[in-house]
Structure 1
Amino acid sequence: MIDILFAEDEVKMGKIVRDVLISRGFNVRYCWDGQYAWDSFFLNKPDIIVTDIMMPRMDGFTLASKIREVDRAIPIIFLTARTAEEDVLKGFDMGGNDYLRKPFNIDELIARINALNRFRNDYNPTDCITIGKYELNPKNHQLKYGDDPIELSFRESELLKRLYERRNTVIARKEILFEFWNGNQNAGRSMDVFICRLRKHLKKDPKVQIFNVRNVGYKLVIRD
């Protein structure tokens, strides 16, 4: 059974979502503000966190950032009424794994919870991976160039790991969207931003490059 920490300051809606999730077999701790959610996080560690962004006492971005200081692996889903792409990308910057725009379909939320939980259970970090002059540690999501560490988000780390595993071959955009964005075709711009960030992280070694194959996908190339 999946334990969910659910933070939402609209109490009426929050209780409805909580009750539906419980009826579908989830354990749910409902918190009506960010500070309460932060305090509750330590009482009994959940399997996944679903949080609104705009909340009193502590917003969802701050909550996610604080959680990421102590746990870099637990999945976090943002619920947001905001439509600006900058806000969505900020959510990923703060350590979010996924997001849903309000109003949302409860079945879609459940599908995303189950997908992230499966992804986490299947996740089996390997030893450090050598990528040109870089070293990727999939366990702590850290990329190192010599003694210079670069802290990656969970999604950045997993995406780079996948590109490395399929190096010198093209991974289709739709395949990346399916695996890392639950098939959300509207997340294409977010995916491009993540690829851009990985390119910047890897720019110190010109022999390591991520190529964009127009209208197809991306390919990681490591030259000898």
Structure 2
Amino acid sequence: MTPKILLVEDDTSLGFVVSDQLKRDGYHVTLCTDGAEGFKRFNEEAFHLCIFDVMMPKKDGFTLAREVRKINREIPILFLTAKSMTEDKIEGFKAGGDDYLTKPFSVEELQLRVIALLKRVNIHVEEEEEKVVEVGSYKFDSENYTLTRENTVKSLTKKEAHILRILTKFKNQVVSREMILNAVWGQDDYFVGRSLDVFITKLRKYFKEDERISISNIHGVGFKLEIID
């Protein structure tokens, strides 16, 4: 299996250089140029390692790491930064980082740190997320965006599927609006918030044939997908 790396770096030149080097080293690399896009991509597919720049637009690397840690406590996170102050490194580790690489850095140092972090992944990496999960009497295929019950197949939009994927991953738990909005839209302003409400209403309709399933609105917090066994 080829290790998959999420690289989030707003310096496009450095991002392409690092991405190209990692690809030549045999890794599959997804490159994003801001923290919001990085969090969105993190929620769209499974990765084995994250490499985050610290100073980025929309969402800085420390904030991005904290949000990732709410979803996945095991995935290694390597920070790239121009800062070398001790207090900045401490903040990075508190945010959930595992290692720190100060710019400018050599290719060899990057390679060695990536290898070391991936060795840890081989021991602790979580089971790959199931592509097809049961939701009451329905089967949800998060890869093909379908919801099936008996002989009826409902095709979902990409956003519907991503929202449902998050809700099923945290089944019977409250998921904050902020997490869903950032994961699906890459932002959490008022207008996309209204769009989320529309999508939630649609998902409720899709599950209306099974009264054991409900998507509750926890006022001021978020949503909860509940399934009564």
Deviations 1:116-173 (A, max 9, x none): 1112223499xxxxxxxxxxxxxxxxxxxxxxxxxxxxxxxxxxxxxxxxxxxxxxxx
Residues 166-181 of structure 1 mapped to structure 2, 5 A cutoff: none
Report 1:188-203 matches (<5 A). Answer: none
- C-alpha distance in 2 between matches for 1:29 and 1:123: 22
Q: What letter corresponds to residue 89 of structure 1 in structure 2? A: I
Contact 2:8-2:34 within 8 A present in 1 as well: yes
TM-score for the superposition, normalised by structure 2: 0.53
Greater RCO between the two (CA within 8 Å, min separation 6)? 2
Contact preservation (8 Å) 2:51, 2:77:
yes
1:124–1:2 CA distance, 2 compared to 1 (3 A): closer
2:90 matched to 1:89? yes
CA contact (8 A) 2:34 2:58 kept: yes
Larger Rg: 2
Classify 1:34/1:124 alpha carbon distance in 2 versus 1 (closer, same or farther; 3 Å): closer
Distance 1:75 1:124, change over 3 A: closer
Aligned to 1:54: 55
Q: Percent identity?
A: 41
Q: Distance in 2 between matches of 1:122 and 1:49?
A: 16
Q: Which amino acid aligns with 1:75?
A: P
Q: In structure 2, how many angstroms separate the alpha carbons of the residues matched to 1:56 and 1:48?
A: 21
1:101 matched residue in structure 2 = 102
Counterpart Cα distance in 2 of 1:27 and 1:50: 13
1:59-118 CA distances to partner (integer Å, 9 max, x unpaired)? 000000000011100000000100110000100000000010000112211111111111
* Secondary structure of residue in 2 paired with 1:83: coil
Q: State the TM-score, normalized to the length of structure 1.
A: 0.54
Runs of 4+ displaced beyond 3 Å: none
Distance (Å, rounded) in 1 between the aligned partners of 2:7 and 2:24: 15
**Contact 2:75–2:125 (CA under 8 A) maintained in structure 1:** no
Equivalent residues of 2:50, 2:78 under 8 A apart: yes
CA distance in structure 2 between the partners assigned to 1:59 and 1:66 by the alignment: 11
In structure 2, give the amino acid aligned to 1:117.
Answer: L
Amino acid at match of 2:102: R
Aligned length: 125
Alignment match, 1:20:
21
* Secondary structure in structure 2 of the residue aligned to 1:82: coil
Q: Distance in 1 between matches of 2:93 and 2:31?
A: 23
| Separation (CA, whole Å) in 1 of partners of 2:110 and 2:23 | 13
Equivalent position of 1:7 in the other structure: 8
Give the 5 Å matches for 1:60-79.
Answer: 60-79=61-80
Distance 1:21 1:122 in 2: 21
- One-letter amino acid of the counterpart of residue 105, structure 1: S
